[in-house]
A and B are shown apart, each in its own frame.
Chain A
């Protein structure tokens, strides 16, 4: 038997059992088996894809989805399409910007949309942190187009904001 991912013989036969897919048998060569086994967790793209597929069943039209795919975060620039393909979000603000789109997804994955565990002693307003991330991105873009004057203005703004943060007390 050949490995599922290459031409080498499959010497590893791995059964993966998860709630969402039931048991699934993989036939892999030593190299691919190592990569697979040493991944700490089940593939997030697969679980996100399956959770999104369930959402699709619930009646989102193709047009709705195309529109959603184009939606992009103003802070980090990631589109929902990129997220869907990689299973990774771009910045903390995505949880705010895509909140309505992520809620059904989180319900599917966790059967909950509400954190009930530990909370940090200090927190900052998500908006102020998003501004820092956005400014840093704008600064890098300014440097790229060699607009050094703009870049240095942004750097000063950032310094001020970061210093303000240092002085922040416990919430």
Chain B
């Protein structure tokens, strides 16, 4: 493992989980699984003294430095990183907003392809997460399970024979496992069926969070589906609940809604998609919400074959790189909000025209 604070190389790439590949990637953006773990011989974060946090961070980092095949894993000391860099890691979903904004000793280990990250001193001492492009929970589970075995070989976990892995919050106790699938559901939003679909999911222990919800001026049409319970079911049952049961059903509804839109309103849809692409390619200043809104339409257009020359991976990359911290990293200096809107428009124009030329 090597220690790093340089993001210049990372900023130009999009993580592998943003490639827009993998099963069902026209609808499923990413599959993520995280495990919450705590060291047995320390209090949970809430009751840790500053010294405790330092000891935990040092102990875990030292153990991880010993791991074979971890030469290419980067370790970022979050206590030392400037705010813009921490925000950058949040935008890439490698760390949570909570750990980015917390105080005291804390860090994150990130694999070179950004498939996994291990946060140290988040809400729990360890948050181990694996992320893949498209609907690929089985690979994600195998990988996070292996990582957990590796960490467990070096660290004594807080574990209770009846309650399982002990976590700072009882909502995570047991498996400590949270499966989250990020879905792009524009057709269900356009056809106003989204609420109905989610209401039908409510009795089956999953949580659905709408990001930039319907009815707002700008909607990005992204939704996250996660398991609500963590105790009383095995890891594979929880993975199956979300990945085998709930998500495929939502995918099917979205496909039907897309078919309907193409059948009944292709001209309107084509018009909407083309105008969105036009705005993104010609605007002189544009906010991040507006960008998200139009990129969502363009993404739908690409997936329905209404736009030929753009790849889903390119759209995913634009989603990521037009966020504030990425934009500033790529530009090479801090920018005010109004400057960012101009820089964002310039960036979009350049990349959309590149995409058409290639």
Binds A, one of B170-178, B266-274, B308-316: B170-178
Q: Considering the chains assembled together, what is the distance between the CA atoms of A43 and B160 in angstroms?
A: 25
Contact residues of A between 113 and 164, Cβ < 8 Å to B: 113-124, 126, 129, 132-133, 136-137, 140, 162
Q: What string of 1s and 0s marks CB contacts (under 8 Å) between B150-170 and chain A?
A: 001000111111111110111
Query: B47 to A92, Cβ gap below 8 A?
Result: no
Which of B34, B90, B289 has a CB less than 8 Å from the CB of A30?
B289
Query: B46 to A16, Cβ gap below 8 A?
Result: no
Which of chain B's residues have a CB closer than 8 A to the CB of A118?
A: 145, 148, 175, 234-235
Which of chain A's residues have a CB closer than 8 A to the CB of B178?
A: 40-41
Which of chain B's residues have a CB closer than 8 A to the CB of A137?
A: 43, 49
Which of A44, A87, A112 has a CB less than 8 Å from the CB of B232?
A112
Size of B's binding interface in residues, CB under 8 A? 72
Which of A17, A76, A113 has a CB less than 8 Å from the CB of B47?
A76
Q: Does B259 contact A (CB under 8 A)?
A: no
Closest chain B CB from A150 CB (angstroms): 17
Q: Does B211 contact A (CB under 8 A)?
A: yes
Which of chain B's residues have a CB closer than 8 A to the CB of A90?
A: 43-44, 46-47
Q: Does B357 contact A (CB under 8 A)?
A: no
Query: A133 to B41, Cβ gap below 8 A?
Result: yes
Q: Does A56 contact B (CB under 8 A)?
A: no
- Residue in B closest to A98 when the chains form the complex, CB atoms: B170
Known: A40-B180, A117-B235. A48 touches B170 (CB 8 A): yes
Q: Does B347 contact A (CB under 8 A)?
A: no
Closest chain A CB from B93 CB (angstroms): 9
Q: Considering the chains assembled together, what is the distance between the CA atoms of A120 and B150 in angstroms?
A: 11
- Residue in A closest to B129 when the chains form the complex, CB atoms: A40
Which of B42, B49, B165, B211 has a CB less than 8 Å from the CB of A37?
B211
Which of chain B's residues have a CB closer than 8 A to the CB of A88?
A: 44-46, 123, 168-169
Q: Does B25 contact A (CB under 8 A)?
A: no
Closest chain B CB from A3 CB (angstroms): 13
**Most chain A C-beta atoms within 10 Å of own C-beta, residue among B52, B156, B199:** B156
Q: Considering the chains assembled together, what is the distance between the CA atoms of A133 and B41 in angstroms?
A: 6
Binds A, one of B60-68, B222-230, B328-336: B222-230
Q: Considering the chains assembled together, what is the distance between the CA atoms of A78 and B96 in angstroms?
A: 26
Query: A115 to B202, Cβ gap below 8 A?
Result: no
Query: A17 to B198, Cβ gap below 8 A?
Result: yes
Query: B46 to A78, Cβ gap below 8 A?
Result: yes
The total of interchain contacts (Cβ-Cβ below 8 angstroms) comes to 206
Known: A38-B90, A89-B170, A95-B173. A116 touches B46 (CB 8 A): no
Q: Does B216 contact A (CB under 8 A)?
A: yes
Query: B211 to A115, Cβ gap below 8 A?
Result: no
Which of B208, B209, B231 has a CB less than 8 Å from the CB of A110?
B231
Query: B40 to A124, Cβ gap below 8 A?
Result: yes
Which of chain B's residues have a CB closer than 8 A to the CB of A115?
A: 160, 162-165, 173-175, 231-232
Q: Does A67 contact B (CB under 8 A)?
A: no
Q: Considering the chains assembled together, what is the distance between the CA atoms of A19 and B207 in angstroms?
A: 7
Query: A114 to B228, Cβ gap below 8 A?
Result: no
Which of chain A's residues have a CB closer than 8 A to the CB of B229?
A: 109-112
Known: A23-B195, A40-B178, A129-B158. A116 touches B232 (CB 8 A): yes
Closest chain A CB from B336 CB (angstroms): 15
Contact residues of B between 198 and 212, Cβ < 8 Å to A: 198-199, 201-203, 205-212
Query: A44 to B169, Cβ gap below 8 A?
Result: yes
Query: B152 to A116, Cβ gap below 8 A?
Result: no
Contact residues of B between 49 and 72, Cβ < 8 Å to A: 49, 51-52
Which of chain A's residues have a CB closer than 8 A to the CB of B201?
A: 17
- Residue in B closest to A23 when the chains form the complex, CB atoms: B195
Query: B43 to A47, Cβ gap below 8 A?
Result: no
Which of chain A's residues have a CB closer than 8 A to the CB of B206?
A: 19
Query: A92 to B170, Cβ gap below 8 A?
Result: no
Q: Considering the chains assembled together, what is the distance between the CA atoms of A113 and B34 in angstroms?
A: 21
- Residue in B closest to A143 when the chains form the complex, CB atoms: B51
Closest chain A CB from B223 CB (angstroms): 9
Query: A119 to B159, Cβ gap below 8 A?
Result: yes
Q: Considering the chains assembled together, what is the distance between the CA atoms of A18 and B165 in angstroms?
A: 24
Query: A110 to B195, Cβ gap below 8 A?
Result: no
Q: Does B214 contact A (CB under 8 A)?
A: yes
Of all A-B residue pairs in the complex, the 5 with the closest CB atoms, nearest first, are A112-B232, A115-B164, A90-B47, A92-B158, A110-B231
> Knowing that A14-B212, A92-B44, A114-B232 are A-B contacts, what are 5 other residue pairs whose CB atoms are under 8 Å apart, sorted by A's residue number?
A37-B209, A39-B98, A40-B180, A117-B234, A118-B175
What would be 8 A-B contacts, judged by CB atoms less than 8 Å apart?
A11-B289, A14-B213, A19-B202, A48-B170, A95-B173, A111-B205, A124-B156, A165-B156
Residues of A within 8 A of B (CB): 11-19, 22-23, 25, 30, 35, 37-42, 44, 47-48, 75-78, 86-92, 95-96, 102, 105-106, 109-124, 126, 129, 132-133, 136-137, 140, 162, 165
